[in-house]
């Protein structure tokens, strides 16, 4: 924990960091828009941006224009919002439960989303009003409510929260399997699996409008409680002795995490790895202080998921690999590298 | 003179036909999808797993032998509505192993290996064989097709109507109604040839198409027809190029790729299934016309959209009807 004594970030270097981060993010977004399944010339991309932002009135094939502005840009922005949200959720949960294995789905959110999606698809719950995403969101929040109540009934400690999360996840996963076994045929189950593995292909502007504010609010909450999270790293009693309103901070942070993960999982399915590994990777890079860890993780998560999405469109020509597969495929070796290099430094 | 020759030929055909299709000699052993199946006599009762098999039984006049049906994709063909109403439906979807066995069928007629096959979700063929129940899988699902890869299997070679005709002929042979089988095949072949001829008259040179089956979510990448299944065959025969280049039966391809390929015709599947929102043909049309990208496609702007029954896109005797529907629609489209 020696990094806690790291020199204070001055205003100027702070501004530099923010500018660098923004530049990296914009580059990644541009990459996500330019690189796709079908090759589109850079000039076309530029023309489409000019037309949409400055009303330039350049002549572009309407299909190309639609692909860039209505498919690829929202898809890339959602990947960014989603990656940032999941990474932030990982940071918060790892700090609160003081467990290196904590990931955003620890609280049963992913399992609940799966059960909700299956209930809508197979049982027809909601009578067609909910849709898969709506069902997933309801399921995710319901599962979290069950886990939270169970953790509370068990005494409310962080160990209890982890165990309640495991119990809740198992319960909702079993419910999903039961529903599939009971009433679906193989074809039905396949459609759901396709969705559960994570898929960004159906993303449109509406999804971005839903997800981006959630991530923005989550980010601000995390940043606001950055010092509190530093304190939580030493345990709840230490945090309390430092004058932190433990209960209130916990509720705010866990509320933000639930909202973020439930939104992301219901929009794009459960994408693993990002929330677990990005915070660890960033701890190696910027140290454990949350004032830096929170923005660094948000940025790294956003960029990482954009890159993973680009890879998912390029790995097999003419076919899209589920992004959940890619995040682990690309992320695991990268993380291994960070682990090994870190050993050499220390 | 011409008339006389024709009459003679017809007479000859009528006279020789029964001789060509002699009565079935039992025990009959048939190699069926890699399994030898033996019948000691014409089956008295049958259970069907898959609508294609059910309708083929009806078409061969074997409705009275069907003790139970299952795996329904859509309404039964209109000409069989009355007949079908009197036959027990074991399940709308997959029947359980026991519900099939309980009927004590002399044969189980199977449409897809994923129901009854090496990894069948109802049962394996061995499980039925252990109980002395022979199974017959319509050969269209295993001819030059690998059902162990790809979600609906992967075709090793282009689907051929001959695999349908082989199914008709073999099933007719099993039930000792070879004459009816031959007549049905002859009728289907004549209709197939007529439809192909009709499209050939258009002299299509640069026309292309995509078959959209459904999508897991409305905006998500759709399930479209691969190169080598029945839709691929239909497109090839009618002079249309399939813009999808996958050998999977129903691969998932992005709207981005489809829109850029910009096919001249879009064929959308109409079905009774309501598993996904996009199963509804109206929702499909609404999406095509409102999505910022697909609405710009030539086929959508010029309303070159054909609605086709989904079941007629999977191997069955309905493929011929689908071919006819397409051949009917194409001349309206002013294609090159």
Predicted-assembly ipTM surpassing the 0.90 threshold: no
Nearest-by-CA chain B residue for A61: B296
- pLDDT tens digit string along A26-37? 999 999 999 988
A85 with A261: CB under 8 angstroms? yes
- Angle (CA) A80 A84 A85, round 5°: 115
Q: B24-176: which CATH architecture?
A: 3-Layer(aba) Sandwich (3.40)
What does the domain layout of chain A look like in residue ranges? 2-345
* pLDDT at position B4 over 70: no
Q: B175 vs chain A: nearest CA distance in angstroms?
A: 30
The predicted pLDDT at position B114 comes to 86
* pLDDT at position B2 over 50: no
Q: A329: part of which helix (H) or strand (E)? A: helix A323-345
Task: Find the mean pLDDT for residues B289-307.
Answer: 95
Cis peptide before B50 (omega within 30 of 0): no
The predicted pLDDT at position A39 comes to 84
Nearest-by-CA chain A residue for B115: A186
Cα gap A200→B313, rounded to integer Å: 28
Domain topology for A2-345? ABC transporter involved in vitamin B12 uptake, BtuC (1.10.3470)
Please tell me which of the candidates B217, B245, B251 has its beta carbon nearest to residue A132: B217
- pLDDT tens digit string along B101-120? 999 999 999 999 989 988 88
B134 with B39: CB under 8 angstroms? yes
Cα gap A90→A277, rounded to integer Å: 8
- Write out chain A residues lying below 8 Å of B291, CB-based: 66, 70
**Range A273-286 burial, b when 16+ CB lie within 10 A, else e:** bbbbbbbbbbbeeb
What does the domain layout of chain B look like in residue ranges? 24-176, 202-333
The predicted pLDDT at position A107 comes to 83
Residues 4-63, chain B: which have Cβ within 8 Å of A? none
Please tell me which of the candidates B253, B256, B277 has its beta carbon nearest to residue A36: B256
Is some CB atom of chain A closer than 8 A to the CB atom of B298?
Answer: no
* pLDDT at position B262 over 90: yes
Radius of gyration from C-alpha coordinates of chain A: 21
Is some CB atom of chain A closer than 8 A to the CB atom of B290?
Answer: no
Is some CB atom of chain B closer than 8 A to the CB atom of A310?
Answer: no
- Write out chain B residues lying below 8 Å of A192, CB-based: 216
pLDDT band at B145 (very low <50, low <70, confident <90, very high): confident
Q: A114 vs chain B: nearest CA distance in angstroms?
A: 14
- Write out chain B residues lying below 8 Å of A119, CB-based: none
Please tell me which of the candidates B246, B254, B292 has its beta carbon nearest to residue A201: B254
The predicted pLDDT at position A10 comes to 56
B61 with B260: CB under 8 angstroms? no
Contacts 24+ apart (CB under 8 A), A133-136: A133/A266, A133/A267, A133/B217, A134/A266, A136/A265, A136/A266
Q: Is B56 left (phi over 0), alpha (psi -120 to 50) or beta?
A: alpha
Count Cα atoms within 13 angstroms, Cβ side, for B113.
22
| Structure-model confidence comparison of residues A122 and B135, the more confident one | B135
Surface-to-core class of residue B82, CB atoms within 10 Å of its CB (0-12 exposed, 13-18 middle, 19+ buried) = exposed
Cα gap A201→A333, rounded to integer Å: 25
Cα gap A9→B202, rounded to integer Å: 75
A322 with A198: CB under 8 angstroms? yes
Q: Do B257 and A318 touch (CB under 8 A)?
A: yes
Query: Do the two domains B24-176 and B202-333 of this chain adopt the same fold?
Result: yes
Class of domain B202-333: alpha beta
Is some CB atom of chain B closer than 8 A to the CB atom of A59?
Answer: no
At residue B38, φ and ψ (nearest 5 deg) are -115, 135
- Write out chain B residues lying below 8 Å of A126, CB-based: none
Nearest-by-CA chain B residue for A118: B275
Cα gap B226→A201, rounded to integer Å: 19
The predicted pLDDT at position B307 comes to 95
Q: Which three-class secondary structure state does DSSP give residue A99?
A: coil
Nearest-by-CA chain A residue for B244: A318
The predicted pLDDT at position A334 comes to 77
A89 with A257: CB under 8 angstroms? yes
The predicted pLDDT at position B152 comes to 66
Is some CB atom of chain A closer than 8 A to the CB atom of B96?
Answer: no
For chain B, the three-class secondary structure string (H helix, E strand, C coil) is CHHHHHHHHHHHHHHHHHHHCCCCCCCEEEEECCEEEEECCCCCCEEEECHHHHHHHHHCCCHHHEEEECCCCCCCCHHHHHHHHCCCECCCCCCCHHHHHCCCCCEEEECCCCCECCCCCCECHHHHHHCCCCEEECHHHCCCEECCCCCCCEECCCCCHHHHHHHHHHHHHHCCCHHHHHHHHHHHHHHHHHHHHHHHCCCCCCCEEEEEEEECCCCCCEEECCCCCHHHHHHHHHCCEECCCCCECCCECCHHHHHHHCCCEEEEEECCCCCCHHHCHHHHHHHHHHCCCHHHCHHHHCCCEEEEEHHHHCCCCHHHHHHHHHHHHHHHHCCC
Is some CB atom of chain B closer than 8 A to the CB atom of A160?
Answer: no
Is some CB atom of chain B closer than 8 A to the CB atom of A319?
Answer: yes
Q: What is the mean pLDDT of each run of 10 residues along chain A (346 residues)?
A: 46 81 94 88 92 89 91 95 95 88 83 85 70 84 90 84 91 86 56 67 89 96 94 85 88 91 86 88 90 96 94 76 82 80 61
Q: Do A63 and B216 touch (CB under 8 A)?
A: no
Q: Which of B293, B299, B301 to mutate to test the interface with A (most CBs of A within 10 A)?
A: B293
- Write out chain B residues lying below 8 Å of A202, CB-based: 215, 217-221
The predicted pLDDT at position B16 comes to 44
- pLDDT tens digit string along B36-56? 999 999 999 999 999 999 999
Is some CB atom of chain A closer than 8 A to the CB atom of B287?
Answer: no
Q: Is A65 left (phi over 0), alpha (psi -120 to 50) or beta?
A: alpha
């Amino acid at each position: 924990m020696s990094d806690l004594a790291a020199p204070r970030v001055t205003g100027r270097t702070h501004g530099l960091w923010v500018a660098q981060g923004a530049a990296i993010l914009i580059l990644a977004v541009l990459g996500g828009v330019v690189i796709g399944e079908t090759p589109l010339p850079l000039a076309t991309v530029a023309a489409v941006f000019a037309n949409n932002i400055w009303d330039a009135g350049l002549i572009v094939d309407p299909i190309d224009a639609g692909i860039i502005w209505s498919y690829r840009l929202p898809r890339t922005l959602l990947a960014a919002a989603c990656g940032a949200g999941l990474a932030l959720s990982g940071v918060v949960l790892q700090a609160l439960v003081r467990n290196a294995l904590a990931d955003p789905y620890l609280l049963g959110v992913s399992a609940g989303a799966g059960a909700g999606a299956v209930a809508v698809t197979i049982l027809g719950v909601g009578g067609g009003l909910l849709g898969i995403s709506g069902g997933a969101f309801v399921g995710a929040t319901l599962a979290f409510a069950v886990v939270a109540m169970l953790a509370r009934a068990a005494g409310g400690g962080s160990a209890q929260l982890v165990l309640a999360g495991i119990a809740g996840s198992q319960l909702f996963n079993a419910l999903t399997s039961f529903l599939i076994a009971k009433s679906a045929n193989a074809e039905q189950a396949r459609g759901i699996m396709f969705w559960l593995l994570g898929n960004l292909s159906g993303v449109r502007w509406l999804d971005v409008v839903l997800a981006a504010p959630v991530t923005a609010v989550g980010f601000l909450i995390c940043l606001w409680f950055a010092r509190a999270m530093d304190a939580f790293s030493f345990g709840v009693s230490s945090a309390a002795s430092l004058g932190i309103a433990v209960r209130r901070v916990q509720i705010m942070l866990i509320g933000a995490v639930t909202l973020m993960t439930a939104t992301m999982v219901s929009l794009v399915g459960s994408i693993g790895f990002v929330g677990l590994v990005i915070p660890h990777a960033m701890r190696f890079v910027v140290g454990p202080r949350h004032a830096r860890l929170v923005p660094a993780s948000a940025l790294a998560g956003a960029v990482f998921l954009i890159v993973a999405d680009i890879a998912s469109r390029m790995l097999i020509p003419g076919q899209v690999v589920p992004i959940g597969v890619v995040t682990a495929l690309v992320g695991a070796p990268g993380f291994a590298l960070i682990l090994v290099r870190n050993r050499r430094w220390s | 003179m011409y008339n006389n020759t024709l009459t003679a030929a017809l007479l000859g055909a009528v006279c020789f036909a029964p001789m060509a299709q002699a009565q079935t000699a039992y025990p009959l052993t048939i190699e069926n999808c890699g399994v030898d199946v033996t019948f000691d006599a014409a089956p008295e009762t049958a259970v069907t797993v898959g609508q294609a098999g059910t309708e083929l039984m009806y078409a061969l006049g074997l409705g009275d032998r069907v003790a139970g049906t299952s795996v329904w994709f859509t309404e039964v063909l209109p000409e069989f509505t009355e007949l079908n109403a009197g036959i027990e439906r074991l399940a709308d979807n997959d029947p359980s192993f026991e519900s099939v066995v309980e009927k004590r069928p002399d044969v189980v007629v199977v449409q897809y290996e994923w129901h009854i096959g090496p990894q069948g979700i109802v049962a394996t063929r061995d499980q039925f064989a252990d109980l002395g129940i022979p199974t017959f899988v319509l050969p269209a699902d295993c001819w030059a097709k690998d059902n162990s890869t790809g979600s609906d299997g992967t075709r090793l070679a282009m689907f051929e109507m001959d695999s349908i005709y082989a199914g008709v002929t073999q099933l007719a042979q099993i039930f000792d109604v070879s004459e009816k089988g031959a007549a049905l095949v002859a009728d289907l072949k004549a209709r197939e040839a007529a439809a192909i001829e009709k499209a050939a008259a258009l002299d299509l040179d640069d026309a292309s198409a995509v078959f959209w089956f459904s999508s897991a979510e409305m905006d998500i990448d759709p399930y479209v027809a691969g190169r080598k299944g029945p839709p691929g065959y239909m497109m090839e025969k009618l002079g249309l190029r399939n813009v999808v280049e996958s050998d999977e039966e129903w691969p998932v391809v992005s709207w981005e790729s489809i829109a850029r390929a910009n096919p001249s015709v879009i064929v959308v599947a109409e079905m009774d299934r309501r598993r996904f929102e996009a199963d509804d043909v109206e929702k499909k049309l609404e999406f095509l016309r409102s999505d910022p990208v697909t609405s710009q496609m030539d086929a959508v702007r010029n309303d070159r959209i054909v609605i086709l029954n989904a079941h007629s896109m999977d191997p069955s005797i309905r493929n011929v009807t689908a071919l006819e529907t397409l051949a009917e629609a194409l001349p309206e489209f002013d294609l090159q």
